[in-house]
Amino acid sequence: MFDALSEKLQATLADVRGRGTLTEDDIKKAMREIRLALLEADVNFKVVKEFTNTVRERCMGADIVGQLNPGQQVVKIVHEELEALMGGQSGDIVFSPRPPTVILMAGLQGSGKTTATAKLAKFLQKEHGSSVGVAACDVYRPAAVDQLVKVGGQVGATVYEQGTDRDPVDIARWALDQAKQDGKDVLIVDTSGRLHVDEKLMEELKNIRTAVRPHNILLVVDAMTGQDAVNVAEQFGAAVNFDGVIMSKLDGDARGGAALSVKAVTGKPILFASTGEKLDQFERFHPDRMAQRILGMGDVLSFIEKAGEQFDADQAAEMERKLRQNDFTLEDFLQQLKMIRKMGPLTSLLGMIPGFAGQQLKGMKVDEREMDRVEAIILSMTREERRRPELIKGSRRLRIAKGSGVSVQQVNQLVKQFAQMRKVMKQVGKGKMPDMAALMRQ
Ligand code: GDP
């Protein structure tokens, strides 16, 4: 996501950062490059113009011309303005003091509305502990009702549906009654989309809005469609108004234009980002983190949040104790490996760490197959062998190699590497810095 834009902005800023002093011409040149990068990323041209004007003025006003090391300040200004462009702060759903809180989902057909309905249900259950019902009011798209029954069921939401023969406005009204009776905290209403914004679609949305009086109207916008998405959002805004955007398909090769323009053009913030077809690939949208990611400063907070979901404090403390006391076995190693892998593909995780983003990541391939192999080897060992890898010799080595489909050398290598790792840990545990040079020679 945003790869090309990230790369160009990072290159421009690296150039600026690399200079001792900056002249007015340097800043002008940098702004020209930033302008081009944003236009190529399909950001609305008015937005680009305003953005570069603001950044240029701030750079000039900040009196950085002629100063020593001014590049850092330019980066800071670009970062702050990118963040502001996407809305500054992250927003949230408005909860009604009298449940159920009603959320109306709007958007074009194919934008990812039905998927987002289930994802949002899952998110609210998890983040707010809400009990959630979803209403199937998209009666026009073939199979939309069945799809919602399926994905809604998968996330554990109650699906209110009445097939496709009833009027969607009636279904919405009925679903709200049901949700009240069932004591739901939240009702999310999936509505139908069309291929284009048209009178009928808007009319129906307005009627549903009157029927259920939503506390939030969320527009689902497909990030892959760039400026078209922003135009659609503008049209929706003019007709029914909405409170916030769910930007879908941010995992694809979206150039970034929609995400960067939609707030400036419609005045409505992006509240959530949908980043894949799986139902947990959905997160709150944080403009600051997104700006950092675009500028290759990494997304440490998202990384920590993700890590926090997998490692609990007790586990972490136990691991640390083991490391210090040199009790760490291949069994623990396997457990750690599994936890790390649960967090998602390694390359996407590394992309969130500053220093790994952008260029560096390109040249660096994390070989997931290598990890598969390591896992297979450890799984072929007995418990005793995992605890005391020094036992692994001769026939044991052969058995493990056969069991995991690797060569004896590969088993050897793993055992040797693990022994090295233990040695380092032992030194660190004793408070000594490991002798890296010696380790490299081995
Ligand atoms: P609707 O017509 O607006 O209800 O659209 P759907 O929810 O059926 O989504 C249309 C297609 O986009 C489906 O194939 C979804 O699996 C896919 N989709 C939805 N959200 C995302 C996303 O965030 N990333 C990716 N890659 N695909 C998505």
- Show the tokens assigned to 225: 């469609």
> What does pLDDT average to over the chain?
83
Handedness of CA 238, 239, 245, 250 (dihedral sign): negative
- Show the tokens assigned to 1: 């996501």
For the chain, the helix, strand and coil percentages under 3-state DSSP, each to the nearest 5: 60, 10, 30
- Show the tokens assigned to 94: 């408005």
Q: How far apart are CA 434 and CA 151, in angstroms?
A: 51
Does the annotation place 261 within a ligand binding site?
no
Report the Cα–Cα distance between both ends of the chain, in Å, rounded. Answer: 40
The residue whose CB lies within 8 Å of the most ligand 1 atoms, and thus the one to mutate among 277, 281, 282, is 277
Q: How far apart are CA 112 and CA 318, in angstroms?
A: 42
When pLDDT is cut at 50, 70 and 90, the band that residue 343 belongs to is low
One-letter amino acid at 149 equals: V
* pLDDT tens track for 233-289: 999 898 888 999 999 998 877 778 888 999 999 999 999 999 988 999 999 999 988
Q: Closest ligand 1 atom, CA of 119? A: 20
Q: What is the dihedral of CA 121, 125, 130, 136, to 10 degrees?
A: 20
Does the annotation place 248 within a ligand binding site?
yes
Residue 302 has pLDDT above 70, yes or no: no
The DSSP code for 162 is B
When pLDDT is cut at 50, 70 and 90, the band that residue 66 belongs to is low
Cβ contact 272:287 at 8 Å:
no
Q: Which residue has the tokens 């136990």?
A: 318
Provide the pLDDT for residue 59: 87
Q: How far is the CA of 393 from the centre of ligand 1 (A)?
A: 52
Q: How far is the CA of 152 from the centre of ligand 1 (A)?
A: 14
Q: How far is the CA of 43 from the centre of ligand 1 (A)?
A: 23
Tell the residue nearest (CA) to atom 28 of ligand 1: 277
Query: What domains, with CATH codes, occur in the chain?
Result: 3-85 (1.20.120.140), 101-289 (3.40.50.300), 316-334+359-441 (1.10.260.30)
Residue 72 has pLDDT above 50, yes or no: yes
Q: How far is the CA of 115 from the centre of ligand 1 (A)?
A: 6
Residue 362 has pLDDT above 80, yes or no: no
Does the annotation place 156 within a ligand binding site?
no
Q: How far apart are CA 86 and CA 270, in angstroms?
A: 7
The conformational region for residue 132 under phi > 0 = left, psi -120 to 50 = alpha, else beta, is beta
Burial label, 168 (beta-carbon count in 10 A; 0-12, 13-18, 19+): buried
Residue 437 has pLDDT above 50, yes or no: no
Cβ contact 39:325 at 8 Å:
no
Does the annotation place 387 within a ligand binding site?
no
When pLDDT is cut at 50, 70 and 90, the band that residue 350 belongs to is low
Is the pLDDT higher at 142 or at 169? 169
Nearest-CA neighbor of 259 among 301, 217, 224? 224
Residues at CB less than 6 angstroms from ligand 1:
107, 109-115, 141, 144, 147, 193, 248-249, 251-252, 274-277
One-letter amino acid at 303 equals: F
Tell the residue nearest (CA) to atom 2 of ligand 1: 110
The conformational region for residue 191 under phi > 0 = left, psi -120 to 50 = alpha, else beta, is beta
When pLDDT is cut at 50, 70 and 90, the band that residue 9 belongs to is confident
Residue 17 has pLDDT above 70, yes or no: yes
Q: How far is the CA of 274 from the centre of ligand 1 (A)?
A: 9
The model's pTM is 0.71
One-letter amino acid at 364 equals: M
